[in-house]
Amino acid sequence: MTWACPLHKVVASIGIGGRCRNMLGATVLLLAPLSVAVPALADGPCRSEDFEGVRYTVCSFDLVETDLRLFWRDASDRPYRSFSTLAKAVEADGRVLTFAMNAGMFQTDFTPIGLYVEDGRELRPTNTADAASGLRPVPNFYRKPNGVFYIRGENAGVLTTERFLNVRRQTDYASQSGPMLVIDGELHPAFIEGSRDRTRRTGVGVSGPGMVHFAISEDQVNFHDFARLFRDFLGCRNALFLDGGRGTGLFSPELGRNDISWHGGFGPIVGAVE
């Protein structure tokens, strides 16, 4: 069992895609009871959006202008676990953490379940395993196809794990999670319109080589509708689920957000530094 989407049912879910326009928004969810108010947004990458009656915080980045990285362990090989700990480490290095979000699923010791690449070094291998026989519902990570979010220089992408391995991309950063939300403009085949499997969710999509969009739902949403946010509203032909429920969170000083994980911390974290 893993902390990352321990057993959130993927069986009921998503919907059609999303139109990733160049908007500075990010759907964030406080790891507290549902329906938290989104603070007024200042100028910056994140903003509040409403899509078909569900509130989101969406954060968008142009990698030509943004230094986006993945983080997992500190200099002592201890997982950062919290945005505050990561922000202090970045500050000690003479930089400022301006945004962060959970970046993929992890085990109880905060180790990424699948592929994890940081600064060009593969710290965890690709996970192509299937869920244990008879396990129901199938944990989200194992609802194939799952996928990989990666960054290489000023470009970023989301690919199914199989395709990522086939092209053997060299990357600066990569995090494997699952399931995929949108695959070449199509919703994941397991998602069910009108599903009652609703919770808060986070995900990432790309609308161009260097345009990356992170979203976190402020309300409960199923996979189908969450996927449609990326395809139909944000314009993303490929998008990846990062996590759901109480394992999600957002860090945005401009929004006054510094969420915690009720799983005791986060595993991989994606962050923007200046």
Number of domains in the chain: 1
Q: CA 184 to CA 158: how far, in whole Å?
A: 10
| Within-domain flag for 37 | no
pLDDT digits (tens, 9 = 90+) for 107-154: 999 999 999 999 999 999 999 999 988 888 899 999 999 999 999 999
Question: What are the φ and ψ backbone dihedral angles of 232, each rounded to 5 degrees?
Answer: -90, -25
- The model carries a pTM of 0.84
- Note the pLDDT tens digit of each residue in 189-204: 999 999 999 999 999 9
Asked whether residue 268 is domain-assigned, the answer is: yes
Question: What's the distance, Cα to Cα, between the start and end of the chain in Å?
Answer: 36
14 located within any domain: no
Do 140 and 5 touch, CB atoms closer than 8 A? yes
DSSP letter, residue 112: B
Residue 2 is assigned to a structural domain of this protein: no
The pLDDT tens digits for 59-110 are 999 999 999 999 999 999 999 999 999 999 999 999 999 999 999 999 999 9
Pairing status of strand 97-102 against strand 250-252: antiparallel
Single-letter amino acid code for the residue at 222: N
| Domain contains 39 | no
**239 located within any domain:** yes
Residue 161 structural domain: 19-30+48-127+137-273
Count, residues in the chain: 274
Residue 243 CA to residue 132 CA, distance in Å, equals 20
Pick from 180, 5, 228: nearest CA to 102:
5
The pLDDT of 235-247, averaged and rounded, is: 95
Q: Is residue 257 classed as helix, strand or coil in its secondary structure?
A: strand
Distances (CA, A) of 12 to 86, 96, 143, 192, 222: 34, 39, 11, 5, 7
Q: Considering the domain boundaries, does residue 42 fall inside one?
A: no
